[in-house]
Amino acid sequence: MRRPVHPQLRPIQLRNRNEAHSIPIRTSTGHNHPPCLAPNQATTATSPSSLPKAASTKSNTPSKQSPMPPSMPSKKVPDKLFDADSMSWIFEVSGGVGAVVTGMMPDAKASINRARSEAAEFRYKYGYDMPVDALSKRIANLAQVSTQRASMRPLGISSIYVGVDEEYGPQVFKVDPAGYYTGYKAVAQGPKMTEATNWLEKRYKRSTAPGANGDDKWCETLEETVEMGIMCLSSVLSVDFKATEIEIGVVEGKGGKFRRLSVEEIDERLQSIADRD
Residues 90-146: tens digit of each pLDDT: 999 998 999 999 999 899 999 999 999 999 999 999 999 999 999 999 999 999 998
What pLDDT score was predicted for residue 61?
54
Amino acid occupying residue 96: G
In the structure, what pLDDT confidence band is assigned to residue 152 with cuts at 50, 70 and 90? confident
Q: Is the pLDDT of residue 236 over 80?
A: yes
- Whether this model's pTM surpasses 0.95: no
Amino acid occupying residue 124: Y
User: Region 38-57: what's the mean pLDDT?
Assistant: 37
Rounded to 5 degrees, what are φ and ψ at 50? -150, 140
Q: Which residue has the higher pLDDT, 56 or 4?
A: 4
For residues 257 and 277, give the distance between their C-alpha atoms in angstroms, rounded to a whole number.
32
Note down the domain range covering 50.
38-276
Q: Dihedral angle at the C-alpha atoms of 149, 150, 151, 153, nearest 10 degrees?
A: 90
For residues 1 and 14, give the distance between their C-alpha atoms in angstroms, rounded to a whole number.
27
Residue 197 within any structural domain of the chain: yes
Let me know if 265 is exposed, middle or buried by CB neighbors in 10 A (0-12, 13-18, 19+). Answer: middle
Residue 134 within any structural domain of the chain: yes
Q: Is the pLDDT of residue 67 over 60?
A: no
CATH (domain of 228): 3.60.20.10
What pLDDT score was predicted for residue 100?
93
Residue 30 within any structural domain of the chain: no
pLDDT averaged over the chain?
75
Rg (CA), the chain: 21
For residues 137 and 124, give the distance between their C-alpha atoms in angstroms, rounded to a whole number.
19
For residues 77 and 91, give the distance between their C-alpha atoms in angstroms, rounded to a whole number.
18
What pLDDT score was predicted for residue 136?
96
Long-range pairs, 258-263, Cβ under 8 A, ≥24: 258/92, 258/93, 258/94, 258/95, 258/96, 258/97, 258/98, 258/162, 258/163, 259/92, 260/90, 261/226
Q: Is the pLDDT of residue 64 over 70?
A: no
22-26, 131-135, 219-223, 230-234 — which one is most confidently predicted on average? 131-135
**Residue 146: which H helix or E strand, with range?**
none
- Give the three-class secondary structure for 119: helix
Residue 257 within any structural domain of the chain: yes
Rounded to 5 degrees, what are φ and ψ at 124? -65, -40
Share of the chain above pLDDT 90, in %: 34
Q: Dihedral angle at the C-alpha atoms of 154, 178, 50, 127, nearest 10 degrees?
A: 90
User: Region 159-185: what's the mean pLDDT?
Assistant: 92
Q: Based on the structure, what is the number of domains in the chain?
A: 1
For residues 180 and 53, give the distance between their C-alpha atoms in angstroms, rounded to a whole number.
19
What pLDDT score was predicted for residue 216?
66
Residue 230 within any structural domain of the chain: yes
Residue 12 within any structural domain of the chain: no
What pLDDT score was predicted for residue 156?
92
Long-range pairs, 142-146, Cβ under 8 A, ≥24: 142/114, 142/179, 143/111, 143/175, 143/176, 143/177, 143/178, 143/179, 144/25, 144/26, 144/34, 144/178, 144/179, 145/179, 146/177, 146/179
What pLDDT score was predicted for residue 39?
30
Residue 28 within any structural domain of the chain: no
In the structure, what pLDDT confidence band is assigned to residue 215 with cuts at 50, 70 and 90? low
Residue 177 within any structural domain of the chain: yes
End-to-end CA distance of the chain: 89
CA atoms lying within 13 Å on the CB side of residue 39 = 8
